[in-house]
Structure 1
Amino acid sequence: MFQNIHSILIGLTEEGDNEESVSALAYGLSLARETGAHVTVQAASLKLVLTHAFVSSVAKGLVAAENRRLDALANAVVDTARQSAAASGLACTTQAPQLAYADLIRSFTTLARSHDLTVLDAEPVALAIDRGLIEAVLIDSGRPLIVVPPGRETFAARRIVVAWDGSAKAARALNDALPFLRECEQVDLVSITGEKDLTHMASGAEIAPHLSRHGVRVSVLNLPAINGDVAETLRNHATLTHADMIVMGAYVHSRLRQMVLGGTTQSLLKSCPVPLFLSY
């Protein structure tokens, strides 16, 4: 039984894009069934706002109609979530607010602070609304986050890859993920060599006894970076070992540096074969 996970927030945004992949809802409900946690589903629709004072009544009518459409879609999502939770015997709270972008981000971030973790859909586009939500919840909520790629609708934690570079953020992610690591059949504690100097950081061999004392079955691995790319090395290892999750500390380098130059967090947010557990 997973310990210390009693409340899960599933965050969804409704922007009217029918092609947008949604896996977080099914994954989050699956996770709640495994943990026995209370689940909160917030499906927020983005409120369109006309900022120019001199707009035609036709434009106002079109915006109002689109806002009504988005609100209806968000309410349909929470109705589905409520029915799915009830069918599984889960305690579930639902919300479907319609908010302007800044208020939407603030609402999700504030709500995340009163939950043990948040589950969100992956968003490969760096400037998209959902990517902004991922980064805001990650950086400002003080809680861990699971980012779910398309097609991953069932929670599993038989094998987990932990990205370890000895940093404070890696240590926080490691401890935040302990409820999953304790129940896992195999944890690969992976340090990637050749990308940066790790000689002054706590090694995987040094942190492994800490995990063992928590009952975690852990193997320590040092893998050379594939073409100097840490993210690609982690993706490759997760795929080859059929891992169910990658755990890592986010934005070890500054977020601005990663936005400009790229980095492991940005790369894995763009593309990851398995759910990505992140702490900041």
Structure 2
Amino acid sequence: MSMPAPSPLAAFRDILVGTIVEDERDRVSPAVGYGLSLAEAAGAHVTILSSSWCLVGTDAWLQGTADPGIGVVDRRLDALARAYAENAAGAAAQAGLVCTWETPRLPYPEVVHRLAAEARLHDLTVLDLDPRSEILSRETVEAALIGSGRPVLAVPRSHQAFAGRRILVAWDSSLQAARAANDAMPLLRAAGAVEIVSVGDADDLLTTMPGAEFARHLARHDVAVTVSDLPQDGSIADTLRSHAGLVRADLMVMGAYRHSRAREFVFGGVTRSLLLDAPVPLFLAH
């Protein structure tokens, strides 16, 4: 009797789920639920890194005040981070997953650097994308991308569990886009439908199909792929955001920071715009 073929998702052998608690109002981490359900689908080992951003020791003036209230807040955030990790470990055990967890309590910016260093040791890192903590959330994603050399899955609050039947691949022929698509190959092979989407000027789209050659590459990997060239309607990010909603995409794969982060900060950019307002979870690679 032949054994069933393993899921393409089994290529992800270890997944890091990272969350940083900086506010006592933080009660939900979409990355935890999403990362655990993805790890269950892949049969992967999962590591929970639930960090708390402590205030004591981050600045000389804070040390000088010796305000006991600051220490109380730090202990509460540490307790919340531990509760995240313990609950996630319990859910992982119920799902039959092998899970390890850590709850580092670190000042800024060490709390971000610690997560980026851990990301190097895993196939994929799943992180929160929370507009309520916009700066820390975006910086954590950036640090993990730039500092680890591994892909990152950034999850908005509206998506609490993994889904990957319909995936968009944002294609601009850049090396970042090619790397993202190849890093996401297990997800693409497992999907029911993959659409390569290129956004350009209407005149250009009459004579070019920038995603067509890459589509052949994906097809050779047994990916059910189609190609769409979209005229730019507003910004490129707006066009991708609108199309993701139109086709009810579960996930978007894209290269991150084709331009420098400094240039994107000053002039804006597709990556920065989508991190600020992501319609679906973003699979990113740099």
Could you say which TM-score interval applies, normalised by the shorter chain? over 0.9
The answer to whether the Cα contact below 8 Å between 2:181 and 2:254 also exists between their aligned partners in 1 is yes
Match of 2:194 among 187, 190, 198: 187
Unaligned residue ranges in structure 1 (runs of 5+): none
What is the one-letter code of the residue matched to 2:280? V
One-letter amino acid of the counterpart of residue 61, structure 2: H
Do structure 1's residue 273 and structure 2's residue 279 form an aligned pair? Answer: yes
Matched, 1:252 2:266: no
One of 107, 118, 127 as aligned partner of 2:125 = 118
Partner of 1:162: 169
String of CA shifts for 1:27-76, please: whole Å, max 9, x gaps: 0000011000000001100111241387344x1x2222222111111111
Tell me the matched-pair count: 276
Amino acid corresponding to residue 151 of structure 1 in structure 2:
S
- 2:258 and 2:205 map into 1 onto residues whose CA distance is 13
2:249 corresponds, among 231, 243, 250, to 243
Aligned to 2:80: 73
**2:184 aligns to what?**
177
Gap change, CA 1:202 and 1:98, over 3 Å in 2: farther
Amino acid at match of 2:244: A
Offset, 1:21? 4.9
Residue identity matched to 2:269: G
CA contact (8 A) 2:19 2:51 kept: yes
Q: Secondary structure at the match of 1:68?
A: helix
Residue 237 of structure 2 aligns with which residue?
A: 231
Q: Percent of pairs identical after alignment?
A: 46
Code of the aligned partner of 2:266: V
- TM-score for both structures, normalised by structure 2: 0.91
Asked whether 1:132 is paired with 2:139, we answer yes
Q: TM-score, normalised by structure 1?
A: 0.93
Residue in 1 that maps onto 2:96: 89
Amino acid at match of 2:253: V
Residue pair 1:15, 1:70 contacting (<8 A) in 2 also: yes
1:87-123 CA distances to partner (integer Å, 9 max, x unpaired)?
1111100100100112111210111001000001113
2:99 and 2:181 mapped to 1: Cα distance?
A: 28
Question: CA–CA distance in 2 between the matches of 1:149 and 1:178?
Answer: 22
Structure 2 gap segments, 5+ residues each = 1-6
Q: Which residue of the partner structure matches residue 62 of structure 1?
A: 69
Q: How far does residue 142 in structure 1 lie from its aligned partner after superposition?
A: 0.4
Q: Does 2:219 align with 1:212?
A: yes
